[in-house]
């Protein structure tokens, strides 16, 4: 029976071929699936891609080429400064900083410069949570009003540009916002009343703009706020009393505005306040004693106001001032002796007031120069003339 082995042989041969065939097909499928996975990992949705390209078209960046990578379909992969949510492939994050350690800047040996404006098309990125377009110096135009429809936004940082126009009046709709950084721009108009509804806001920087009007009287509703930087604007009206209810506020800068009225008496009872800059305003009345006895306050600048009365004699062993500047006011009476019991006074400026009497002798005063005391009515003793 010679046929039998032949038949078995060809059957075995057939089996082997089938096995090779399935293995090849399997490998091919794995490759195919892998290819699609890879391709889709960095391709964002077509509408997001169109919005990004419109955003790019509104800006000119001549020196670094940060938008060079913004071509093709892989907007969730290689596009500089863009990130997506990996499951949905929606753009969540645009982070473009003009001052950065990124190799792109090192290679160019310069900081960034960009002109143009932020296209309202950016509002079509409906999953956007972080928008940072900061320190490009030349970006002008307005903040797109439609930005307040992006309810997932947590960070808006447009600091250090030439952005003008007003803060959108319904900014308060962005109830997930933690950081609103619009400092160093040319923004005008007033602080929108709705801002107090951003319950999650921890940092507000509006410094160095042209913002007018009053600070909303219910500003203290911002219970999560730890930094409120409103200096170098044209704010008027008085400091709202509600501010003293802000239990997390550590840094309050209202300097170089047109703020008048009194300092709220309870401001020194704020639990974590460590820096208070009220300098260069039109604040009148007396310095609240709570402010001087607050052990957590490290920097206090009340310079260039219309403060009168005496310096409260309530310093204690908890007082620790890196800087205490009361210069250019109308303070009278003596330098309080209790200042000698302070744990530390780094920089002290009492010049340009109407103080009188002998400068206390003790360690907090040893290192101070005459300039700390000059231009008063009748102060005497070291480092000024002997009494």
Ligand X SMILES: *[C@@H]1O[C@H](CO)[C@@H](O)[C@H](O)[C@H]1NC(C)=O
Binding site for ligand X (CB under 6 A): 255-256, 279-280, 301, 303-304, 323, 325, 347
Minimal distance, residue 124 CB to ligand X, in Å = 43
Are the beta carbons of 253 and 272 closer than 8 angstroms? no
312: tokens are 């409260």
Write down the least CB distance from residue 158 to ligand X, Å. 25
- Give the nearer residue to ligand X in terms of CB position, either 226 or 277: 277
Taking the least distance from each CB to ligand X, the nearer of 45 and 277 is 277
Nearer to ligand X, 118 or 256 (CB): 256
Please tell me the distance from the alpha carbon of residue 164 to that of residue 114, in angstroms, as a whole number: 15
Q: Which is nearer to ligand X, 74 or 255 (CB)?
A: 255
In the complex with ligand X, the residue whose CB is nearer, 184 or 279, is 279
Task: Give the Cα separation of 333 and 109 in Å (integer).
Answer: 56
C-alpha–C-alpha distance, residues 310 and 378, integer Å: 14
Q: How far is the CB of 324 from ligand X (least distance, A)?
A: 8
Least distance between ligand X and beta carbon 166 (Å): 26
**d(Cα 349, Cα 267) in Å, to the nearest integer?**
21
State which residue has the least CB distance to ligand X. Answer: 279
Q: How far is the CB of 325 from ligand X (least distance, A)?
A: 4
Minimum Å distance from CB 173 to ligand X? 35
Nearer residue to ligand X within complex by CB, 84 or 350: 350
Return the sign of the alpha-carbon dihedral for residues 47, 53, 58, 63: positive
Task: For ligand X, give the closer residue by CB, 56 or 352.
Answer: 352
The whole-angstrom separation of Cα 161 and Cα 182 is: 9
Residues 44 and 49: their CA atoms lie apart, in Å, by 6
**Cβ atoms of 361 and 380 closer than 8 Å:** no
CB of 256 to ligand X, least distance (A): 6
**Do residues 262 and 216 touch, judged by C-beta distance below 8 A?**
no
CA distance 155 to 136: 17
Could you give the count of Cα atoms lying within 13 Å of 257 in the half-sphere of its Cβ?
A: 30
């Amino acid at each position: 029976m010679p046929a039998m082995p032949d038949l078995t042989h060809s059957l075995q041969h057939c089996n082997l071929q089938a096995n090779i065939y399935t293995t090849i097909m399997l490998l091919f499928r794995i490759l195919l699936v892998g290819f699609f996975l890879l391709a889709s990992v960095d391709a964002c949705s077509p509408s997001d891609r169109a919005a990004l390209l419109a955003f790019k078209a509104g800006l000119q960046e001549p020196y670094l080429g940060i938008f060079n990578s913004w071509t093709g379909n892989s907007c969730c992969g290689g596009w500089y400064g863009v990130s997506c949510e990996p499951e949905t492939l929606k753009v969540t994050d645009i982070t473009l900083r003009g001052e950065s350690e990124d190799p792109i800047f090192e290679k160019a040996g310069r900081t960034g410069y960009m002109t143009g404006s932020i296209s309202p098309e950016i509002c079509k990125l409906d999953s956007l949570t972080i928008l940072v377009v900061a320190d490009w110096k030349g970006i002008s135009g307005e903040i797109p009003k439609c930005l307040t429809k992006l309810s997932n936004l947590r960070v808006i940082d447009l600091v250090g540009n030439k952005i003008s126009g007003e803060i959108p009046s319904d900014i308060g709709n962005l109830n997930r916002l933690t950081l609103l950084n619009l400092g160093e721009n040319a923004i005008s108009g007033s602080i929108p009343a709705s801002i107090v509804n951003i319950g999650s806001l921890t940092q507000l920087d509006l410094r160095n703009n042209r913002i007018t009007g009053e600070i909303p009287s219910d500003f203290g509703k911002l219970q999560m706020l730890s930094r409120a930087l409103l200096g170098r604007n044209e704010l008027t009206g008085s400091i709202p009393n509600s501010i003293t209810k802000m239990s997390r506020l550590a840094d309050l800068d209202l300097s170089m505005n047109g703020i008048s009225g009194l300092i709220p008496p309870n401001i020194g009872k704020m639990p974590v306040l460590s820096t208070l800059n009220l300098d260069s305003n039109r604040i009148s009345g007396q310095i609240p004693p709570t402010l001087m006895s607050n052990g957590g306050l490290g920097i206090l600048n009340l310079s260039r106001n219309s403060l009168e009365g005496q310096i409260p004699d309530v310093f204690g062993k908890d007082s620790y001032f890196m800087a205490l500047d009361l210069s250019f006011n109308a303070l009278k009476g003596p330098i309080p002796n209790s200042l000698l019991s302070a744990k530390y006074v780094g920089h002290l400026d009492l010049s340009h007031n109407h103080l009188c009497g002998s400068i206390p002798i003790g360690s907090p005063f040893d290192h101070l120069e005459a300039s700390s005391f000059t231009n008063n009515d009748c102060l005497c003793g070291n480092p000024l003339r002997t009494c």
